[in-house]
Amino acid sequence: MKLKTLLAKHKSAIVKQWINSIVETYPSETAKFLKSKKDQFSNPVGHTIMAETNNLFEQVMEGIDREKVTPFLDRLIRVRAIQDFTPSQALSFVFSLKYVIRRVVGSEIDTEALDQELVDLEASIDYMALVAFDVFMGCREQLYDLKVKEIHSNAYSLLRRAKILVEQPGEEPENA
C-alpha cells in the first residue's frame, strides 16, 4: 500500500484532528466558539479553518505546488497575522499536520514499510511551512504599512488642526 492511498483512506480523521489542533492554539473560550459554530457567517474564522485545512491536505496529497497552495495558506494565515500570535505560533499549524498523520496512520506506516514515503511527505510539509512563512511575512508587512500610514495621517491631521502645518501654494495636501 502506498502512503497516499493510506492517507486518502484516513483523510477525514486526519483533517478532523488537524482542525482540532489548529483550534486548540486559540484561547479556550475562542476554541469553544470555533468548534461550536459551523455557519460561515456567524463563525467565519472557524469556517475558514475547516475549508482551508481540507484544501491544504488535498495539496499535500497531490504534492505541494507553491502557486496552488499559497491562496489556501493566505486565507488561514491572514487571520492569524492580525491576532496576538507570534510567528511560530501562527505557523505551527503546518507542522502539526506531521504529528497528526503519525498519530492517525503511524502504526500502518510501520507495518507497510513506508518510511521513505513518510520522509518525502514530511519534506513537502516543511516546504509548505516555508511558503506559509513567506505568506505570514507579507501579511505582517501589509499590517505594518497600514499602521504607518494611519500614524502619518493622524500626525498630518493634528498638525493641520493646530495650524502648525504650512502648505505651499500650488501644492496639494497629502492624503494618506
Q: Is residue 160 part of a domain?
A: no
- pLDDT tens digits along 35-76: 887 778 889 999 899 999 999 999 999 999 999 999 999 999
Q: Is residue 27 part of a domain?
A: yes
Is the backbone of residue 170 left (phi > 0), alpha (psi -120 to 50) or beta? left
Is residue 61 a contact partner of residue 105, using CB atoms and an 8 Å limit? no
Q: Is residue 153 part of a domain?
A: no
- pLDDT tens digits along 118-154: 999 999 999 999 999 999 999 989 888 888 888 888 8
As for how many domains the chain has, the answer is 1
Q: Is residue 9 part of a domain?
A: yes
Question: What would the grid cell of residue 137 be?
Answer: 511575512
Note down the domain range covering 7: 3-140
Q: Is residue 115 part of a domain?
A: yes
pTM above 0.85, yes or no: no
Question: What would the grid cell of residue 144 be?
Answer: 505594518
Query: What burial letters (b/e) apply to 8-19, b meaning 16+ CB within 10 Å?
Result: eeeeeebbebbb
Q: Is residue 151 part of a domain?
A: no
